[in-house]
Amino acid sequence: MYVKNINIYKKKPIVIFLMGPTACGKSHLAIYLRKYLPIELISVDSTLIYRGMDIGTDKPNFSDLSSHPHRLLNIKDPIEQYSAAEFQKDVLKEIDDIIKLGKIPCLVGGTMFYYNTLLHGLSILPPSNIKIREFLLQNSHDKNFLHKKLELIDPISASRIHKNDFQRLLRALEVFYLSGKSLTELKEHNNYQLPYNIFQFAIMPPDKEWLNNKIERRVKKMLILGFQKEVEILFLRGDLHINLPSIRSIGYRQMWEYLEYKNSYQEMFNKIIYATRKLAKHQLTWLKKWKNLNKILYHPIPDILVQNILNILKKK
């Protein structure tokens, strides 16, 4: 039964963002919210796009997806790459399709750069160049080489990109070598604006200890559900390698290294937890600086979270 007194169009069509750090129950809440609002779900996650990568990405199960389909899920093979520009193009099409159905697009996920790209757009950037990327990687003797180089060329972008986010570091450097201008310079000339009434929500953890414990329980659950077998299937394909964005993602990279006998099982387990906690910290850093954000403290009873969201929608 849908809630009354919420005009889904108002002056502009409503679009909902449901963000938050990993392990805070965003997907579960989005599914629950469908009981109260005529929403269609769009995944905003750079790992959920890959087919055959289900356990390690905590993808909604088959039953949930059958009843509550997520758009932009399982759209790529792990050997393929997917840029923020492709996401922007794809998500705008999905949003438009949902609005034409008379429903509310609800974007759910934790890839903050994708949300940022959708909100602020991308400048017209040169296409990717594999030769430049190979040159940069071959000369990356120091693990912080790419970040240090970007600090010299584009300190503003360097301050926004984590030193271990190789994909974004490579892209920022690549843009400079191809265009002669920094990513920051190109973005300054962007007059992009979305034609929607956007409501942005973030599910926030009660405290750091709660989040750390939740992450550890999730990793243990992944392993119980057969995460090692899932990665072994990818490993034995023969056409995938650890430098692909799919395999570099958290969990898959660490398990891949375990299968290559580079780590013990305990080291692999500890590294996944450490990397996931770093991701959560990075997501929280994004959210602290995020404008026009409605922060909602996590609660184990979904009705309470839903009521908070509905109250904000009704007021505005």
Q: Is 24 annotated as a binding residue?
A: yes
* DSSP line for 152-190: HH-HHHHHHS-TT-HHHHHHHHHHHHHHSS-HHHHHTT-
Q: Is 264 annotated as a binding residue?
A: no
Backbone phi and psi for residue 3, each to the nearest 5 degrees, phi listed first:
-75, 140
Q: Is 57 annotated as a binding residue?
A: no
* Distance from chain centroid for Cα 189: 26
CA dist 88 and 97 (Å) reads 14
CA dist 164 and 145 (Å) reads 10
CA dist 88 and 121 (Å) reads 8
Q: Is 25 annotated as a binding residue?
A: yes
Structure tokens at 270: 């500890």
Crossing angle (nearest 10°) for helices 265-289 and 112-120: 30
Can you list the positions of beta strands (E) in the chain? 14-19, 39-43, 70-71, 104-108, 197-204, 293-297
Q: Is 251 annotated as a binding residue?
A: no
- Are 113 and 162 contacting, i.e. CB atoms less than 8 angstroms apart? no
Q: Is 202 annotated as a binding residue?
A: no
Q: Is 106 annotated as a binding residue?
A: no
Structure tokens at 313: 């929608």
Burial 136-165 (b: 16+ CB within 10 A, else e): beeebeeeeebbebbeebbeebbebbeeeb
Give 238's DSSP letter.
Answer: S
Q: Is 126 annotated as a binding residue?
A: no
CA dist 229 and 283 (Å) reads 29
Annotated binding-site ranges = 20-27
Annotated binding-site ranges for ATP = 20-27
Annotated binding-site ranges for substrate = 22-27
